[in-house]
Amino acid sequence: MAIQPSIDTLCINTIRTLSMDAVQQADSGHPGTPMALAPVVYTLWQRFLRFDPEDPIWPNRDRFVLSNGHASMLLYAMLHLTGVKAVNDDYERLGELSVTLDDIKHFRQLDSKCPGHPEYRLTSGVETTTGPLGQGCATSVGMAIAGRWLALHFNRPDFAMFDYDVYALCGDGDMMEGVSSEAASLAGHLALGNLCWIYDSNRVTIEGYTDLAFGDDVAARFLAYGWNVRRVGDANDIERLAQAIETFRRTQDTPTLVIVESHIGYGAPHKHDTSAAHGEPLGEEEVRLTKRYYGWPEDSSFLVPDGVRDHFDAGVGQRGRQLREGWFARLRAYRTKHSDLADQLDRMQKRELPDGWDADIPVFPADARGHASRDSSGKVLNSIAPRYPWLIGGSADLAPSTKTRLTFEGAGDLEADNPSGRNLHFGVREHAMGAILNGLALSKIRAYGSSFLIFSDYMKPPIRLSALMEVPVIYVFTHDSIGVGEDGPTHQPVEQLLALRSIPGLITIRPADANEVAEAWRVVIGLKHQPAGLVLSRQPLPTIERTRYASAAGVSRGAYILADAKNAKPAVVLIGTGSEVALCIKAYEELAQEGIPARVVSMPSWELFELQDQTYRDRVLPPDVTARVSVEMGSTIGWDRYVGATGAKIGMHTFGSSAPLKDLLKLFGFTPEKVVDAAKQQIANDKDAR
């Protein structure tokens, strides 16, 4: 007589076999890690996770992050078996499953809710998009920082509105990527007792065993970071796993790393090719053998035995329902006693703005010397933040230079002993900062971070993910050009602006003066589902006389006519961004003195301009005026879309050089004379062409 497996074993093997079947049917994916870690995720979700499948965006839920996103079937199986419901973009519960069995059957196929790596917003229950290793780990640090900040901001006696924990499942690849080390160092420094990483130490990567390239004593490393470290010698020992998680939950003053020893493709003893088990389907014969090993029907496919869904509903489902219902009951009483805070909480969850958030934004008077746009940005930021309580952020050790420190009374520094501060200090950790900002934004905090534009290169992966996830992180990048001068080409960005513009969904804005800065902040604060990058100068920019030239309100449309020829019939159009707009104005005035009609277009944002209708775009850049000149201290790649194939592009074609700014402007051709000469040549070429 066959021994009936326990319900725990039945559920674990259901996760494993769903993962095997999905990968096999797709003929693509990673079956080994889901098979090995099924007991870990089962134990965490079924016994501990405070999560209601009926409402996967309940604000005080525990967060589960699958940093090793190649094991995506592990998460999809859990979302299906626990009955997680779908939520739409308007935060409405739809009553239908987030992941159906058909979605799993179409794993990695077009239009499935089960893509190759988990994607936030596409699949409800996925807390963050993962796949690039290390990103999920670092993002979880932002979620944990947010959890403590929310608790200090909202909790009141008898009203524990926030006390959630954050769990991240990670692997050897995550531990090798530098971003996880950056983030772990900061997490330990901030004593994030609500953060637990579960490290699957299986010692296998795509190329083979990790001893080819990785021999770290991970436990010692994390102890040095200030983490609590626990070990579980066998991923299948669910009782030891439970003890380790219980220890984490009792530990309040340090983050916890649980090191779990597992074997890729555990339970498939016939498989000896570690790379295949990690990154390829097992093959039909191996799937049958593995199912036989589990005591599973060998010819079954996508089988969910009776009782499995009921068991999950009685565990994570019932616990989650009770906790969520209790939370919303507290919220109803909270609204009566703390109505202002309840209003803030409601607005945060829907990414709505507080009333009057922009009431104190300054208007800057005309000034020939003007302000560096980083300075005017700092003034605008500090006019907004006091009226926007959940706007918090900081810098990768550069706040004095990026002017992003909040200076109003009560802003405070976010530190281990002051988790409610609004000034974050990321240290010299740009990569981790970007990922942590994503975690903050995913927790509905309005987050900003800053660095020099040149160091946006260090942040490219998390910036890309913020755009992919459509979360409204604000990036403040200063020292935007060769205007950095003597610091030289290592600090003078050339191709970085182009790189930011190439990211789909990212709004990049390079304002020309202080009033364009103010309007740029109005735009980015109003974004709900798009990240934005403000690109700002170190050197002063003249504040344009707006009674003579057009209003800076045109920033919201990406490009606008700043100065125009009489009767709006220019012979040439000069297009500039940022500091080069003032240069275009000087050239415009010189051309006017010579009787040459010109138009100056300030184009702070390509992305916003492309969102306008064709009529508006043609009004700003008339199709019949082909004589055009673009002026920008950056790569000229891409400017042909606005100046045409024959237009002049004054920009950077090499790296910069270390010298005073005036010398650099002359060396690289950023002078009124060069712009005037280019404009005249364009007009001559246009006449010849006609």
Element (H, E) at 508: strand 507-509
pLDDT(564) > 90: yes
Q: Given this model, what pLDDT does residue 3 score?
A: 52
Instruction: Tell me the two tokens of residue 212.
Output: 């080819």
DSSP annotation of 562 reads E
Spell out the alpha helix ranges (H) of 295-418: 308-312, 318-337, 339-349, 373-384, 399-402
A 10 A CB-CB count for 373 gives 30
**Helix 32-43 with 7-26: angle, nearest 10 deg:** 150
pLDDT band for position 268 (50/70/90)? Answer: very low
Question: Region 285-295: what's the mean pLDDT?
Answer: 93
Q: How far is CA 235 from CA 62, 176, 265, 431, in A?
A: 22, 21, 12, 31
pLDDT band for position 203 (50/70/90)? Answer: confident
CA 647 – CA 642 distance, rounded (Å):
8
Q: Given this model, what pLDDT does residue 274 score?
A: 40
DSSP annotation of 554 reads G
Task: Return the percentage of the chain with pLDDT > 70, whole number.
Answer: 97
Instruction: Tell me the two tokens of residue 35.
Output: 């098979």
Q: Given this model, what pLDDT does residue 272 score?
A: 35
Question: Region 533-546: what's the mean pLDDT?
Answer: 97
Of the residues 430, 519, 580, 632, which is catalytic?
430
Scored b (16 or more CB within 10 A) or e, 308-334 reads: bbebbbebbbebbeebbeebeeebeeb
Contacts of 690 (CB under 8 A, 6+ apart): none
Express each pLDDT in 5-22 by its tens digit: 899 999 999 999 999 999
Contacts of 669 (CB under 8 A, 6+ apart): 650
Length of the chain: 690
Express each pLDDT in 378-410 by its tens digit: 999 999 999 999 999 999 999 999 999 999 999
Q: Given this model, what pLDDT does residue 262 score?
A: 86
Instruction: Tell me the two tokens of residue 331.
Output: 């919220």
Mind giving me the DSSP string for 365-400?
Answer: PPEEEEEEHHHHHHHHHHHHGGG-TTEEEEESS-HH
Cα four-point dihedral sign 364, 367, 372, 373:
positive
> By C-alpha distance, which of 247, 231, 266 is closest to 74?
266
Please state the three-class secondary structure of 55-123 as a single string: CCCCCCCCEEEECCHHHHHHHHHHHHHCCCEEECCCCCEEEEECCCHHHHHCCCCCCCCCCCCCCCCCC
Scored b (16 or more CB within 10 A) or e, 445-458 reads: bbbbbbbbbbbbeb
Q: Given this model, what pLDDT does residue 57 score?
A: 96
pLDDT band for position 4 (50/70/90)? Answer: low
Beta bridge partners of 572: 598
pLDDT band for position 269 (50/70/90)? Answer: very low
- Report all structural domains of the chain as residue ranges with CATH numbers, in order of start: 7-323 (3.40.50.970), 367-542 (3.40.50.970), 555-689 (3.40.50.920)
Active-site residue 430, yes or no?
Answer: yes
Q: Which residue has the higher pLDDT, 278 or 606?
A: 606
Burial-class residue 688 by CB neighbours within 10 Å (0-12, 13-18, 19+): exposed
> By C-alpha distance, which of 29, 45, 7 is closest to 165?
45
pLDDT(488) > 50: yes
pLDDT band for position 550 (50/70/90)? Answer: very high
Q: 108 in the Ramachandran plot: left (φ > 0), alpha (ψ -120 to 50) or beta? A: left
Q: Given this model, what pLDDT does residue 204 score?
A: 73
- In Å, how far from its chain's centre is CA 268? 37
Element (H, E) at 11: helix 7-26
Express each pLDDT in 179-191 by its tens digit: 999 999 999 999 9
CA 41 – CA 64 distance, rounded (Å):
10
Express each pLDDT in 77-101 by its tens digit: 999 999 999 998 877 888 899 999 9
Q: 295 in the Ramachandran plot: left (φ > 0), alpha (ψ -120 to 50) or beta? A: left
Task: Using the structure block, give the residue that is written with the tokens 């344009």.
Answer: 544
CA 575 – CA 640 distance, rounded (Å):
12
168 phi, psi to nearest 5 deg? -125, 130
3-state secondary structure of 134: coil
pLDDT(266) > 60: no
**In the predicted model, what is the mean pLDDT of the chain?**
94
A 10 A CB-CB count for 557 gives 18
Express each pLDDT in 634-687 by its tens digit: 999 999 999 999 999 999 999 999 999 999 999 999 999 999 999 999 999 988
Express each pLDDT in 103-129 by its tens digit: 999 999 999 999 999 999 999 999 999
Q: Given this model, what pLDDT does residue 279 score?
A: 64
